[in-house]
Amino acid sequence: INNIKVFFFFLLRKMSKIQLKFPKGFLWGAASSAYQTEGGNTNSDWWAWEHSQKRMEALKKQGKEPLNYMSGIACDSYNRFDEDFALAEHLSHNAIRIGVEWSRIEPKEGVFDEDVLDHYEKMLQSAKFHGLQIFLTLHHYTNPIWFVKKGGFLKTKNISFFVDYAHHVVERLGQYVDFWVTINEPEIYATQGYALGIFPPQEKNLFKCFKVINNLIESHKQISAVIKIHSSKPVSLALNLLDFQPSGFLGEVAVRLMRYIINGYIMRRTLDYCDYIGMNYYFHHHLSWFGLRKHSHENHEKTDRGWGIHPEGLERVLLSLKKYEKPVYILENGLADAADSRREKFIKDHLYYLHCAIAKGVDVRGYLHWSLTDNFEWEEGFWPRFGLIEVDREDLLRRKVRYSATKYAEICK
Ligand code: IFM
């Protein structure tokens, strides 16, 4: 019956301007992270890496200008957060995902900067003032330098430092937070940093990667226990879930395996410590036989980063979560699109398939587009433009609302 319903929705949508109804209380908004927007995070391992000789030389060898790959002042959101939240309100958002930066809050081991905590309190108050429910991320790829010197997440005994920091944040800022996000994309953090050698510390060691993943899982468990004591608000991680599609019998086997390992490993081990499922959706992989994979077909439409656009995959991923019987929030979904020529359709198509999943019984309660503003896209620097709002780097970081943002605003409204 559900399939027939979805089919007719599809037909009607093709034929007319049908309005899809989303559940009451659905959260609409955008997401960002501290390091990618704040600027000036000099105590962070990423900052140290961006300025390292090794990194600069590697960039020069590729004919790239190192300055374009340094976060620097980023979007200056450390100072301009109120302006950004006002724009989100103006765009009819009712929720926002933001982060706090550990290396600012605890620049030295055991030293918590009260001025910085006061600053973050003002930031959260501002988000509330602008009518936004807050998803607060505690860890989004970056660490204090002192923590990394101790071995970072490679060492199980270091988990306690992270938990201690989280404890401070929960006690000090918890009253403003509606949803906790402990760790953003632990699997991406670990694979990019410890298996593929892309993020700092640029290791290529599967054993270390696995160790880091397990220590992040343990960190999440311990922090969720702290949150249970000091805050009544729901907690989850932000997992980057992929859509895998098979071709041929061997492809089917590969897909099942990948779904079990890549999407399932952290999920299964943390589910009892999550009140909701927080997920990011960007990728589709077409598997023909084990080990051989393609992002998407050659001629498929792609984002500026070359990622295939597969909105229908979102429905498949969401349906795979139904069995867990937990509310789901999309904590990130977006595209690099400097010309803003694909974003409106991208958003509408993803929301259409999200709605299909709801119609088939998945309890999806919110959608946060990545990202509110253009920002520092990690190893790629500033060129990928993910923002609903452009940040003009040639004009004092002036914010300019993109056309697609106004179309998304109509839906939010
Ligand atoms: O910019 C990143 C974000 O920090 C984590 N998720 C994916 C985004 C786009 O690459």
What are 14-61's pLDDT values in tens digits? 666 668 999 999 999 999 999 999 999 999 999 999 999 999 999 999
> 55-64: per-residue pLDDT in tens?
999 999 999 9
Among 191, 283, 332, say which to mutate for ligand 1: greatest number of ligand atoms within 8 Å of CB.
332
Write out the two tokens for 328: 């789901």
Mean pLDDT calculated for residue range 217-237? 98
Query: Which one-letter DSSP state was computed for residue 281?
Result: E
Distance CA 324, CA 269 (A): 12
Distance CA 391, CA 154 (A): 36
Mean pLDDT calculated for residue range 220-234? 98
Among 77, 185, 337, 343, say which to mutate for ligand 1: greatest number of ligand atoms within 8 Å of CB.
185
259-270 exposure pattern, b = at least 16 Cβ within 10 A, e = fewer: beebbbbbbeeb
**pLDDT at residue 387 tops 80:** yes
Distance CA 336, CA 285 (A): 18
Q: Give which of 385, 379, 411 is closest to 400, Cα–Cα.
A: 385
Burial class (CB in 10 A: 0-12, 13-18, 19+), 106: buried
Contact between 101 and 34 under an 8 Å Cβ cutoff? The reply is yes
pLDDT, position 291:
55
Mean pLDDT calculated for residue range 330-348? 98
Cα-atom radius of gyration of the chain, to the nearest Å?
A: 21
pLDDT, position 142:
99
Gap from CA of 377 to ligand 1 centroid (Å): 7
**pLDDT at residue 345 tops 90:** yes
pTM for this structure? Answer: 0.95
**pLDDT at residue 288 tops 90:** no
> 276-286: per-residue pLDDT in tens?
999 999 999 98
Ligand 1 touching residue 44 (CB < 6 A)? no
**pLDDT at residue 348 tops 60:** yes
Strand-strand pairing, 277-289 and 235-246: parallel
Ligand 1 touching residue 280 (CB < 6 A)? yes
Gap from CA of 55 to ligand 1 centroid (Å): 20
Position in ligand 1 atom list of the atom nearest CA 332: 6
**pLDDT at residue 408 tops 70:** yes
Mean pLDDT calculated for residue range 367-396? 98
First to last CA, the chain: 30
Q: Give which of 233, 215, 226, 243 is closest to 350, Cα–Cα.
A: 243
Residue given tokens 């960007």 in the structure block: 282
Mean pLDDT calculated for residue range 142-148? 99
Distance CA 38, CA 176 (A): 20
pLDDT, position 250:
80
pLDDT, position 247:
82
Distance CA 218, CA 221 (A): 5
Crossing angle of helices 159-173/206-230, nearest 10°?
Answer: 30
Burial class (CB in 10 A: 0-12, 13-18, 19+), 253: middle
Write out the two tokens for 61: 């060898």
Distances (CA, A) of 175 to 128, 136, 171, 277: 11, 12, 8, 22
Q: Give which of 269, 253, 259 is closest to 215, Cα–Cα.
A: 269
**pLDDT bucket at 300, cuts 50 / 70 / 90:** confident
Centroid of chain to Cα 274: 17
